[in-house]
Amino acid sequence: MEKSKADVMSYRQEYRRKLIPAAEAAGLVKSGMWVEYGQVTGFPLLIDEELAKRTGELERVKVRAFLPLTEPRILMADPRGAHFVYHSWHYGTFDRKYQDKGAAAHIPYNLEDMPRLYREFLKDRVDILFIEVTPMSQEGYFNFGAYMFASKAMCDVAKTVVVEVNESQPWVCGGSDEVIHISEVDYIVANSKYELAEFPVSATTKADERIAEHIVGLIEDGATIQLGTGGLPNAVGKQMIKHGLKDLGIHTGLFTESMMELIEAGVVTGKKKTLNPGKAVCGCAMGSKKLYRYVDRNDTLAFFSSTYTHDPQIIAQNNGQVAINNAIKVDLRGQVCAESAGYRQISATGGLLAFNRGAYMSPGGKAFICLYSTYKDNDGKLKSSIVLDLEAGDVVSVPRTEVSYIVTEHGVVNLKGMSSWQRAKLLISIAHPDFRAELEEAAMRIGLITRGAAGLEPLG
């Protein structure tokens, strides 16, 4: 509904009343407060810089963030965590660095739960929210832009809401919960200093290409896809184009560069989707400036909160939903670790479990968990990523009962309905050849492969 000139003038006047400098916004923080930072592309770049300048005068300020794309200035100013107690929902490069210094703590979660966590469990623990948004519309709305999984929920529970306006934040089409009205905002900060941070696309490796070849051969025309992060999505996208797949749809958490290319190549049309036909459903886009320009006011995309994008029951309504995600290790029973190396947190569970479940529940759907067959330890020694047992501290991101397809550069296997010895043999078959004999010997030693099954083929 169009607003009258009087309404527009009223919103502009309210904007001017609520506009404050970034230093004044940072000055709202008091010792002992819970401070929420906008997540990913919602990270408050300018206010973070100003808050860091106050490090010496603050104590026990508890900050929550999610995969910042730039190094938080408060951590740079307080690398030992003497003044800011930093928490992260999803670790990235910067969080891991400060975790190693004892200055960052992880919050375990499933992405579909995040809005509920704020509205129900954290509703009294958000004193102030700083979040990066688009410029205001004539109707008085700010758009959360390229990341909105829990943005509206955070605003709903924060005692004080401060939006940091950034011209480079794209205006995304909903969906739901993609905007906040100026009447719900306490203060406004104009950020003309920093553009939205870019997220570099990982280089595609030969192993990525081989994994992609195994997966794409199992995807049918008309499928709906979800891709995780890293070089693998780019490899999968290129293989989909190469294989001439048709009329794919998108229901994903993260909208990637490769998905943009698939739409531009005509591989993704959304015509065959059973849920939101013609629309690419997502909740986040992080990547290049080109990607941010692409999602800006693009009504072929529909951004939703994670209660929609990551609900397995909703995901399963897409016929032929395909989920493609990465892991770090898999043990011979089929337990998947996708987020830690021992006790060191690497990333998060995020949407992995939800999409793994939702894709499996989808009629004709498939859930792929991908990993490189080997990695190098800190001493440069080659190790197998398929192991007899997960190490102490390794987080089980996907339990063995939930696992379907496991893929390495050496092949793809489906563990559904397989016994313990069948699982072990199938996983050994896609391990690096240099480690297969010792894995089989170890599995037989502990009775995972029984004596009677020793000479049998797993699918015989």
249 in the Ramachandran plot: left (φ > 0), alpha (ψ -120 to 50) or beta? beta
Evaluate the CA torsion angle 304, 305, 307, 309 in order and state its sign.
Answer: positive
Instruction: Tell me if 446 is assigned to some domain.
Output: yes
3-state secondary structure (DSSP) of residue 36: strand
Averaged pLDDT, 195-221? 93
Between helix 420-429 and helix 433-445 the angle, nearest 10°, is: 160
Q: What pLDDT is attached to residue 231?
A: 84
Domain identity same for 135 and 231 = no
Q: Quote the pLDDT of residue 38.
A: 98
Which uninterrupted H or E stretch holds 440? helix 433-445
- Exposure on the CB side of residue 419, measured as CA atoms within 13 A: 12
DSSP state of 3: P
Q: How confident is the model at residue 268 (pLDDT cuts 50, 70, 90)?
A: very high
Q: In the listed set 147, 168, 191, which residue is the last one of a domain according to the structure?
A: 191
Residues 239 and 178 in one domain: no
Q: CB–CB of 81/210 below 8 Å?
A: no
pLDDT in tens, 307-353: 999 999 999 999 999 999 999 999 999 999 999 999 999 999 999 99
The pLDDT, as a whole number, for residue 460 is: 79
Q: Are residues 264 and 119 in the same domain?
A: no
Tell me, yes or no, whether 154 and 250 share the same domain.
Answer: no
- Is 359 domain-assigned? yes
Residue type, 306: S
Q: Is the pLDDT of residue 1 over 60?
A: no
If asked whether residues 184 and 217 sit together in one domain, one would say: no
Q: Could you give the C-alpha distances from 442 to 216, 402, 411, 418, 437, in angstroms and in order? A: 33, 24, 21, 19, 9
- pLDDT higher than threshold 70 for residue 281: yes
Strands (E), 254-320: 254-255, 280-282, 284-285, 301-303
Q: What is the pLDDT of residue 3?
A: 64
250 and 136 belong to one structural domain: no
From the list 230, 239, 234, the residue with the least C-alpha distance to 202 is 230
pLDDT digits (tens, 9 = 90+) for 114-155: 999 999 999 999 999 999 999 999 999 999 999 999 999 999
What lies within 8 Å, CB to CB, of 115 at 6+ separation is 149, 150, 152, 153, 177, 305, 306, 307
In a domain, 62, yes or no: yes
Nearest of 393, 394, 390, 405 to residue 355 by alpha carbon: 405
Residue 274: band (very low, low, confident or very high) from pLDDT cuts 50, 70, 90: very high
Same domain, 182 and 245: no
CATH number, position 158 = 3.40.1080.10
Q: Would the pLDDT of 2 be above 70?
A: no
End of a domain among 156, 191, 226? 191
Per the document, the length of the chain is 460
Largest distance between two CA atoms of the chain: 83
Residue 15 — pLDDT band, cuts 50, 70, 90? Answer: very high
Looking at the structure, tell me whether residues 152 and 210 fall in a common domain.
no
pLDDT at 201 (0 to 100):
82
Same-domain pairing of 120 and 240: no
Whether residue 197 is contained in a domain is answered as no
Distance CA 70, CA 73 (A): 9
| Model confidence pLDDT, tens digit, residues 148-204 | 999 999 999 999 999 999 999 999 999 889 999 999 999 999 999 999 999 988 888
Residue 225 lies in a domain: yes
CA of 359: how far to CAs of 225, 317, 321, in Å? 9, 9, 5
Residue type, 144: F
| Mean pLDDT, rounded, for 404-415 | 98
Residues 36 and 126 sit within 8 Å (Cβ to Cβ): yes
H-run or E-run covering 323: strand 321-326
Q: Examine residue 292 and state whether it is found in any structural domain, yes or no.
A: no
Could you tell me if residue 213 is inside a domain?
yes
Q: How many domains does the chain have?
A: 2
pLDDT at 370: 97
Cβ atoms of 167 and 133 closer than 8 Å: no
Domain match, 97 and 183 both: yes
Give the pair of three-digit tokens for residue 30.
Answer: 């008091």
CA atoms within 13 A on the CB side of 313: 1
Last residue of a domain, one of 158, 191, 224: 191
Strands 104-106 and 128-133: unpaired
Report the percent of the chain where pLDDT is more than 90: 93
Strands 411-414 and 405-408: antiparallel
Residues 246 and 344 in one domain: yes
Domain of residue 225 covers 206-275+305-453
32 CA to centre of own chain? 29
Residues 71 and 219 in one domain: no
Is residue 284 assigned to a domain? no
Domain holding 263: CATH number?
3.40.1080.20
385 pLDDT exceeds 50? yes
